[in-house]
Amino acid sequence: MHHHNHYYGQAHILARHCGFDDEFPPRIRGYLQHGWNVGCGWNPAHEFFDGAWRYVWSDAPRRRGHALGRRNYHVVGAPWLYLRDLEPDLGRVPEQERRGTLWFLFHGWEGGKIHGDHARLIDEIRETETEPVTVSLYFTEYERPEVRAVYERAGFDVICFGRRGWNYEGTDRRFLYKQLEAFRRHKRVAANRLSTAVFYGVSAGCQPAVYGDPMAMEGENPLFGGTARVARLWPEMHGKDIDLATAREITDQELGRAWMLSPAEMRTLFDWNRRD
């Protein structure tokens, strides 16, 4: 099983959905999409072993993959949706008690750092948000004092949900649980790029916003067209006051709500049925 399948504890969530031990999930013989993707489900340079199945969240990555001549796709829905259903009450508060904005800074990864005008972004956040702001930094920025301190000095609460893991080590399998709990306490979700977290926030009942300096990342592959293409294809998901009904419809499409599988279907697809 490719170690990407363990990112954010996603294989663990699907194992739990199927009735298995979620500490040691069974092997997924293929590649599971681990984040919202504007291409065929993975980064342009991702390598696959011959004949591998590609399990994607929604039908759009499958169609884009087919257009590139790639096959062996199966649409399964985002693991996040299964977690949401498995934990209907986690972090939930009465709607009138939801408060503040959970703001996600576009993040780098183990192989690349982000660069941008953080001071200008902070000014825009202050001008836009009317309630307390909690800034979520991915660990790659949270552990950079020159980034984290800027947001702390601005008076924001600064949090980190943990590590996604690498080569099966350091995976925080409660990563998405902690995000779900946080989303359900907040009124808004915002980010400086349309991203996985924005869709997760909408699915958890938050009002979305996407604005500010999108920043740049070292080594960012331009093959997918960059932020300009994302803004062109998803214009309804950009702005400081996005229509919630439209955002929910797009979120359902991008996370693959209509493609979710029952436990029996998923066990069969992943060859997880017990053999006595």
Domain that holds residue 27: 3-87+256-269
Q: Taking all residues of the chain, what is their mean pLDDT, rounded to a whole number?
A: 92
Q: How far is CA 193 from CA 19, 76, 106, 132, 216, in A?
A: 36, 25, 6, 20, 11
Mark whether 78 and 208 lie in a shared domain: no
Predicted model pTM? 0.95
pLDDT digits (tens, 9 = 90+) for 192-213: 999 999 999 999 999 999 999 9
Mark whether 102 and 78 lie in a shared domain: no
Q: What is the CATH number of the domain that holds 194?
A: 3.40.50
pLDDT at 10 over 90: yes
* Backbone torsions φ then ψ of 51, nearest 5 degrees: 80, 5
Residue 274 lies in a domain: no
* Backbone torsions φ then ψ of 101, nearest 5 degrees: -120, 130
pLDDT digits (tens, 9 = 90+) for 49-74: 777 899 999 999 999 999 988 899 99
pLDDT at 12 over 70: yes
The answer to whether the beta carbons of residues 13 and 262 sit under 8 Å apart is no
Confidence of residue 220 (pLDDT cuts 50, 70, 90): confident
The answer to whether the beta carbons of residues 133 and 101 sit under 8 Å apart is yes
Burial pattern 227-253, b for ≥16 Cβ within 10 A else e, equals: beebbeebeebbeeebeeeebeebbbb
The answer to whether the beta carbons of residues 147 and 137 sit under 8 Å apart is yes
Q: Which helix or strand (DSSP H or E) is residue 134 part of?
A: strand 133-136
What is residue 2's predicted lDDT score, i.e. its pLDDT?
76
Which one, of 156, 199, 192, 162, lies nearest residue 177 by Cα? 162
Mark whether 238 and 185 lie in a shared domain: yes
Mean pLDDT, residues 245-256? 98
Tokens of 221: 């592959």
